[in-house]
Structure 1
Amino acid sequence: MTGTRAFLIRRLVTLLALSAAIAAALFTAYYGVSRNAQAVRDESAPAILQVAAAEVALNDSYESAESSLTGDTGDIEGLGEDYRTALSTATQALAQALKSTTAGTPARQSLLTITGLVSSYGDLVQQAYVNRDNADLRDAYLGYAETMLRGDDGSPKKVRDGDSDILARLVKVQGKQLRLLDQQTSFGWLLSLAWWVLVPAAYLALAVLLVRTQRFLRHRFRRRFNPSLLVATGLLLLAVPTLAVFTYQTQDRLSQARTSLRQPNIGRSPDTTNKRVSTKMAETHWRTGAVVWIPMGGALLAALVFVGLQPRIDEYRFRAR
């Protein structure tokens, strides 16, 4: 085997290996970001918003009940439409949260417990209404209902591990969902390693080697261009920066979604927030779909390299004497 043929074979193997490496690194890095866009839109956002809506509705239900029962129109209006609407909204939101929670089995069990406690809370408020003519009993039942809803002191406070009131339980479930949201929308160290080290290293090594190979072929075979290697180089130089831009844009939308879902009082306008998040994530749909093209692009790149070098290798075949 001549030295040139051996060199070309080694170069072909190296280029094919680098083509596989860049495709694998790109797929891993791109998929790591793109997979979370759909999860945030279809899973995390609805789950977080349902829990937030339940929390707001439960607070509103108590405020409405207390206002109705301790006001001058309690005998005429009863608990009032606002109370019934708020409690119904909270019950529906809890039912949806139970279906969509992203915090796993412990969160579902906690939401089941909360649903039962909300029923008991509603019974206590109803008892307060039944005893509305007896101020002491009425206030006692309202106090029990408030304690079940908000805890011993009946005021917003930092939730501790041992707190067992309804709102504290909801805060704990929400905390788990928000931590998952942070994981889904954060550009962690693995993705940073992939995008800042692995992909650039494979990209530069392959680009440099493709250019050097074309210069060698032009010098050795007196041909100005190698069409296949030229196309392979163009594909590489176009695809990687494009996917990097798509990744940046997708990550930016994920960060915006996280900011929206961490705003205070999102439970008061869950539909508006959900629409905002869905719109942002919908903008990433066609970008996330590009992940399926990466393996095909890697295969095409390898094929172009093979087509570009194999004929030159064949020119150096010889017969043993």
Structure 2
Amino acid sequence: MNGTRGFLIRRLVTLLALSVTASAVLFTAYYGVSRNTRAVRDASAPAILQVAAANEALDESYEYAKRSLVGGTGDIEGLGEDYRTTLSTANQALAQALKSTTAGPPARQTLLTVTGLVSSYGDLVQQAYVNRDNTALRDAYLGYAETMLRGDDGSGHRARSGDSDILARLAQVEKKQLRLLDQQTSFGWLLSLAWWVLVPAACAAPVVLLVRTQRFLRLRFRRRFNPFLLVATGLLLLTVPTLAVLTYQTQDRLAQARTSLRQTNIGKAPDTTNKRVSTKMEETHWRTGAVVWIPMGGVLLAALVFVGLQPRIDEYRFRAR
């Protein structure tokens, strides 16, 4: 009899330890996917879109200024409403980007530098307007403004190593932000290891041991089923695939958000892109909230194991030795 009681005690301790391990592994694996959904929605997406909007607006502002001055409408319309609107949009986007950039202090310093350069760029365009009747001076100031904005080769929208023009600096900030976005939305080898190896192993072990314990109790105590251990087994078998499906759905929406934020034209309609990303992240809200239920499920699992085995252990407590 002592041998049976000792066996049951050891089995109880083992099952409790495996329950804690399985819960911890599931929590870590699930949290690893769900933890970044809010950061993508509230931080990364707005930061990326603000920089992209500033980039797009500045690029358009030069075209509007040049059209007004070279096209001959400057005497009537000045630099034009389109120019003023796009420059104002760029300044507002830069101000917001300074508050919310996700690329760290170096990116913030770059944005501060860009803000100063944009002011100088605006002054150069204004000088071109002031000298609109002098073609040589007008074109010279416009050329200086374009060089400050786009670089010596007049091309924007891409970071060129060593370049210090406005659009190149913004592209460098955006590149850093996108690198962080990739880290937030990628599954990665650690999560792959967790879901393909650690979770199956950590959850299969207690399931197998629960089934073997059920069989032992049926043979030893002549009871067909132990309802508590049966529920514990079902809880594990139901929880793992459910969380796996929720993880897949969350990761899929993170990948869709990454795809949306990596489009080359997001600066043209930042509000539309932001709404699309926010909608995708809102769809994950209740899924990410499921992470708090995993520790509760672990406590329930341990309680079911304890309640299922403790009465059988007690049956041997006062028996004759």
Q: Which residue of 2 aligns with 1:221?
A: 221
Residues 27-52 of structure 1 deviation map (CA, whole Å, 9 limit, x = unaligned): 10000000111111111111111100
Give distance in 2, aligned partners of 1:315 and 1:159. 75
Q: Deviations over 1:102-159 (max 9, x none)?
A: 1011111111110111011001100110111111111111111111000111124753
Q: What is the letter of the counterpart of residue 142 of structure 1?
A: L
Q: In angstroms, what is the RMSD of aligned CA positions?
A: 1.2
**In the alignment, what sits opposite 2:261?**
261
Number of matched pairs: 321
Q: Secondary structure at the match of 1:268?
A: coil
Measured in 2, the distance between the counterparts of 1:82 and 1:242 equals 53
Could you tell me whether the CA contact under 8 Å between 2:228 and 2:308 is conserved in 1? yes
Match of 1:96 in 2: 96
Specify the alignment match of 1:117 in structure 2: 117
- Residue identity opposite 1:101 in structure 2: T
1:311 is aligned to 2:311: yes
The one-letter amino acid of 2:189's match is W
Q: Name the amino acid aligned to 2:201.
A: A
Match of 1:130 in 2: 130
CA contact (8 A) 2:47 2:100 kept: yes
Q: 1:140 to 1:89 in 2, by over 3 A?
A: same
Paired position in structure 1 for 2:247: 247
CA distance in 1, matches of 2:157, 2:59: 14
Rounded to whole Å, the distance in 2 between the matches of 1:137 and 1:9 is 93
Report the counterpart of residue 17 of structure 2 in structure 1: 17
Q: Distance in 1 between matches of 2:157 and 2:113?
A: 21
TM superposition score normalised by structure 2? 0.98
Identical-residue share of aligned pairs (%): 85
Confirm or deny that 1:139 pairs with 2:132: no
| 1:197-241 CA distance string (max 9 Å, x none) | 110001111111111111111111011111111111111111111
Instruction: Tell me the secondary structure at the aligned position of residue 317 of structure 1.
Output: coil
Give the residue type in structure 2 aligned to 1:211.
Answer: V
CA distance in 1, matches of 2:266, 2:145: 25
CA separation in 2, counterparts of 1:161 and 1:314?
75
Partner of 1:155: 155
Q: Matched residues in 1 for 2:104 and 2:182: separation?
A: 16
- Letter aligned with residue 79 of structure 1: L
1:161 Cα deviation from its structure 2 partner? 2.8
Judging changes above 3 Å, is the alpha-carbon distance between structure 1 residues 28 and 3 closer, same or farther for their aligned structure 2 residues? same
Per the alignment, residue 194 of structure 2 pairs with 194
Q: Please name the residue that 2:107 is paired with.
A: 107
- Flag structure 2 segments of 5+ consecutive residues without an equivalent: none
Report the alpha carbon displacement of residue 319 of structure 1 after superposing the two structures with TM: 6.8
CA contact 2:55–2:167 (8 Å) conserved in 1: yes
- 2:275 paired with 1:275: yes
Query: Could you say what secondary structure the match of 1:265 adopts?
Result: coil
Q: CA deviation at 1:88?
A: 0.4
Structure 1 unaligned regions, length at least 5: none
In structure 1, distance between residues paired with 2:14 and 2:51: 54
